[in-house]
Amino acid sequence: MSLDTLDHRAPSLFKQQASRTSQLALYSALALFLMVADARFKITTPVRAALSVALSPVQWLVAQPVLAYQNASRYAEVQQQAVAREDAARKELVVMAQRAELADELIKENEHLRSMLELRERSLTPGQVAEVVYDSPDPYTRRVVIDKGQADNIAPGSPVLDEKGVIGQVTRVYPTRAEVTLLIDRDQAIPVFNPRTGARSVAYGDASSTRAGGLELRFMPSNADVQVGDLLTTSGIDGLYPTGLPVAKVVTVDRRADSAFTRIYCEPVGRVQGVRHVMVLKPQGRTEHPEAANMQAQADAEKADRAAKARGKKEAAAAEKEKAAVEKAGTKAAKPAKDPA
């Protein structure tokens, strides 16, 4: 018989194991004792403090992933809110800028319209406001098209001005449109008056001129009393333009010793380029076609120019004769007298 098969366990008679009920009662009593003792005498406070100090690094380490996730979520949320607020602010800024620009434009248009109304009231001539639709496609002319025509009682020859002065004249009228020839067009001429001296002349358009301005007073006598800065207004002798409307300012006076005439260049006071709203006045007196009126004005001006040119030649000839007479008298005075023999 092998010894390994022998049962080495103690007999049940000698077993000292407590029952489960006894264990439950013992542990319950111990727990109750500890609770009462802790409540009355705070016996576990040092133990708790020691455990708190010992476990604080572990608690901090365990809490880091949670804190990192919370911070990342909060940062992403704040970032999205900031981006949304920035986009909203940019859109609002664009809208406010557009409104401000529109308000400024409306204020300027209102000022222009008020100025044109005041200019019309000063001229005591009925008129109506029109808007420039587009410029003429012809590169060799200076014309614009407005949004008023025969349906609005626009007549050929009507003066056109902005808030500062005359800029042109209606030359062609269509049912709903009208063509305006600007002052600087090469085929345009307008009788002008110099309030400072009372002299009358005709201003010719020449936008292609290398001189500044775009208007020229031709065949003016060399002794003409014209100064830079003189304001030229409409003379009214053509029967189309009211008297006293501002037209141009003298910017260059070219006097040459070898010429009997002075070249005078002027600049329109009105905006002949880039104008948007204009005032169309009713023609004064004559209602003939404006091109015919311009031709007649040019013919009258050429006639006056020829007369001025002839007068200049006569004055030059008289000056030459006077100079020759003075030289002859000087020669006789310088000739020595003969000694009597």
Which CATH number is 186's domain given?
2.40.10.340
pLDDT for residue 339 = 44
Q: Are 249 and 203 in contact (CB under 8 A)?
A: no
3 state SS of 116: helix
> Cα–chain-centroid distance for residue 140?
27
**Interval 24-34 mean pLDDT:** 87
Residue 20 placed within a domain: no
pTM of the model: 0.55
Whole-number pLDDT of residue 22: 86
DSSP annotation of 335: S
Decide if 113 is inside a domain: no
> Is residue 117 in some structural domain?
no
Average pLDDT over residues 108-127: 71
Among 91-95, 114-118, 170-174, the range scoring the smallest mean pLDDT is 114-118
Residue 338, pLDDT > 50, answer: no
143 inside domain: yes
Amino acid identity for residue 256 in this structure = R
Q: What is the pLDDT of residue 176?
A: 92
What is the pLDDT confidence band of residue 99, given thresholds at 50, 70 and 90? confident
Is 190 inside any structural domain? Answer: yes
252 lies in some domain: yes
Q: What is the pLDDT of residues 118-127, one digit of tens each?
A: 666 666 678 8
- Characterise 192 by phi-psi region: left (phi > 0), alpha (psi -120 to 50), beta (else): beta
Element (H, E) at 332: helix 290-334
How far is CA 133 from its chain centroid?
18
Q: How many domains, in total, are found in the chain?
A: 1
Cα(112)–Cα(129) distance, integer angstroms: 11
Contact 260, 221 (CB under 8 A): yes
Q: What is the DSSP letter of 278?
A: E
- Average pLDDT of the chain is 79
Question: How many residues are there in the chain?
Answer: 341
**pLDDT tens, position by position, 147-182:** 999 999 899 999 999 888 899 999 999 999 999 999
Between 211 and 263, residue with greater pLDDT: 263
| Alpha-carbon torsion, ordered 9, 15, 16, 19, to 10 deg | 110
What is the C-alpha separation between 211 and 314, in angstroms, rounded?
30
pLDDT at 242: 86
Residue 154 inside a domain? The answer is yes
Residue 328 to residue 319: CA distance in whole angstroms: 14
Q: What is the pLDDT of residue 341?
A: 37
β partners of residue 191: 202
Range name among 157-161, 203-207, 295-299, 309-313 with the lowest pLDDT average: 295-299
The predicted model gives 313-325 an average pLDDT of 62
Domain that holds residue 187: 127-318
Residue 240 lies in a domain: yes
